[in-house]
Structure 1
Amino acid sequence: MSSCYFFKKGEMTTFGIAPEDSKLNFLLRLKINRQKRRIPLVPENLLKRRKAYQAIKATQAKQALLNKRKVQKGKQIQFKRLETFVRDSWRKRRDDVRLRRMEQRPGQVAVSKEHRLAFVVRITEIKGVSLRVRRVIELLRLRKIFSGTFVKLSPLSLKMLRIVEPYVAWGYPNLKSVRELILKRGQGKVNKKRVPLTDNMLIEEHLGNFGIICLEDLIHEIYSAGRYFRNVTDFLWPFQLSVARHAAHNKVGFLKEMGKPGCRGEGINQLIRQLN
């Protein structure tokens, strides 16, 4: 049932609103809605200026990133304390005196008849050392701390070990230590990249000309310091040993317990187990 409303002309009754006012309100609301929906127009010149400004900002951001990379790659200013220069000078002078005394007392190098293989580990920093010491460190491929290499003992190699003795620990590894080092941390050098020794095909491809076709042949050649020892060690990447895993809570204490540098003899096997 529809409701009925009664109006007098020009006045509002208690039952509703006059039809003229209702129509007026509807038109006002329609006009307001159209104004809200209308998309604001922007002048064309302003749009062009905005686009040009955005292009300039993008170019500036790209140039700033390139400049930042150049600064990072270039030489940065480094501040050193006076104690650093004193320490480096003292270390260099100590090396010069030690090497001069070695030259004045020749004939102290004697190759052991029982042992033909040595394992060398760098256990100290080499900042400020003599240039001669640094060159021997590079020849032994001990550029990083706690890196190690196998060395075939000879009068020349023993002389090199004496030159770098304050910075390395070395000794005579047994077969078990050699095997554990190669199986756990052995990596080959292929196209100047590290490749884990997980496949005998890789060994045969690079060392097959020397009769070494598997991991056991490689271990035997190193431990026996055989004819192709140099070729095998050149193929192997220097062993990067770890100290953090064993001394996460007391690294300084562990370094003290590790002992002093120099010849350890057969005690190098214990050090290998600590760092491997």
Structure 2
Amino acid sequence: MPRVVPENVQKKQARDAKLLKELKEKRDKERKDRADKRKQVAANAEKYYNEYETQNKEVVKKAREAKASGNFFVPAESKIAFAIRTRGINKLDPKCKKIMQLLRLRQLHNGVFVRLNKATVNMLRRVEPYITYGYPSQATISKLIYKRGYGKVNGSRIPLTDNAIVENTLGQKHGITSVEDLIHEISTVGPHFKEANNFLWPFKLNSPRKGFAEKRHPYHNGGVWGNREIQINELVKRML
């Protein structure tokens, strides 16, 4: 006689088969979605790279044309600065302390991106003796985020090891779905710069190789503090 399978076992087998099928379909869909996202991220990265290269070539072309015609070429003013705290809390007056908190420069060798406008320039100048700042290149911004980038996720400091961390926090509202999108938003000072910059935890940098010389004097007098302009890129390289 054929073996009789109890009805409750049959129902369990049918339920298990249905759940297994749904799980397989879900995994296949997730796998396909991940592949599509990887293609989109790669396409965006290539688009951004071409955009950066075009901008660099345009600057070089204009500089050469100006030199050939005997004129001077002045590049457009930077829209973004990178500020690094160079001194501690000693002799810090309350107003400077408040500005440091607003800039999120709470610890020595902390670094942050700052969008340049009249208000932020005045803030930077007010606390100049305690910071150094300048205009970072796209390559410097990329290195900072890839090497020392941490995101603020539910109040926690999370390393940016996966595009999903960026997408889950900034993707739905602001369309920033990968680390490359984040770098592009920061370097171009895009419409969602504020949200992207607030998502980035202040960078914790090392003491620079070869150290700081003459911390009490401004940079243009051979010291440390103040505006370094494009020379900030060299300092960041020594502090990574």
Fold match (TM-score > 0.5): yes
- Any gaps of 5 or more consecutive residues in structure 2? 1-74, 216-222
Distance 1:257 1:164, change over 3 A: closer
Shift of 1:147: 0.3
Q: Match for residue 215 of structure 1?
A: 179
Residue in 2 aligned with 1:256? 213
In structure 2, do the counterparts of structure 1 residues 257 and 185 end up closer, same or farther at CA, with 3 Å as the change threshold? farther
Deviations 1:16-61 (A, max 9, x none): xxxxxxxxxxxxxxxxxxxxxxxxxxxxxxxxxxxxxxxxxxxxxx
What is the CA deviation profile of residues 169-194 of structure 1, one whole-angstrom value per residue up to 9, with x for unaligned ones?
00000011000000000000112211
Superposed CA offset, 1:193-213 (max 9, x none):
110001111111100121100
Deviations along 1:138-184, one digit per CA (max 9) or x if unpaired, are 00000000000000000000000011001100000001100000000
- For residue 125 of structure 1, give the secondary structure of its aligned residue in structure 2: coil
Distance 1:194 1:127 in 2: 27
Over the aligned positions, Cα root-mean-square deviation in angstroms equals 1.6
1:71-99 per-residue CA deviation (whole Å, 9 max, x = no partner) reads xxxxxxxxxxxxxxxxxxxxxxxxxxxxx
SS of match in other structure, 1:128 = coil
- Corresponding letter in the other structure for 1:206: T
TM-score, with normalisation over the residues of structure 1?
Answer: 0.55
Q: CA deviation at 1:128?
A: 2.3
Which residue number corresponds to residue 87 of structure 2?
Answer: 124
- What one-letter code is carried by the residue in structure 1 that aligns with 2:212? L
**CA distance in 1 between partners of 2:151 and 2:89 (Å):** 26
Q: Larger radius of gyration, structure 1 or 2? A: 1
SS in 2 for 1:161: helix
SS at match of 1:227: coil
User: May I ask how many residue pairs the two structures share in their alignment?
Assistant: 158
Cα 1:232–1:186 change in 2 (3 A) is same
| TM-score w.r.t. length of structure 2 | 0.63
Within 2, Cα distance between the matches of 1:218 and 1:158?
24
Please say if 1:226 is aligned against 2:190. Answer: yes
Q: Partners in 2 of 1:237 and 1:226 — Cα distance?
A: 18
Task: Show structure 1 runs of 5+ residues with no match.
Answer: 1-111, 248-253
Q: Greater RCO between the two (CA within 8 Å, min separation 6)?
A: 2
Return the letter of the residue paired with 2:134.
Answer: G
Larger CA deviation: 123-132 vs 226-235: 123-132
- Does residue 1:179 correspond to 2:142, yes or no? yes
Q: Distance in 2 between matches of 1:191 and 1:213?
A: 17
Segments of 4+ moved more than 4 angstroms: none
Q: Measure, in 1, the Cα distance between the counterparts of 2:199 and 2:184.
A: 15
Change (3 A) 1:152 1:123: same
Per the alignment, in what secondary structure is the counterpart of residue 150 of structure 1?
strand
1:126 deviation in Å? 2.5
- 1:256 is paired with a residue of what secondary structure? coil
Are 1:168 and 2:108 an aligned pair? no
Q: CA deviation at 1:257?
A: 7.3
Identity fraction in percent:
42
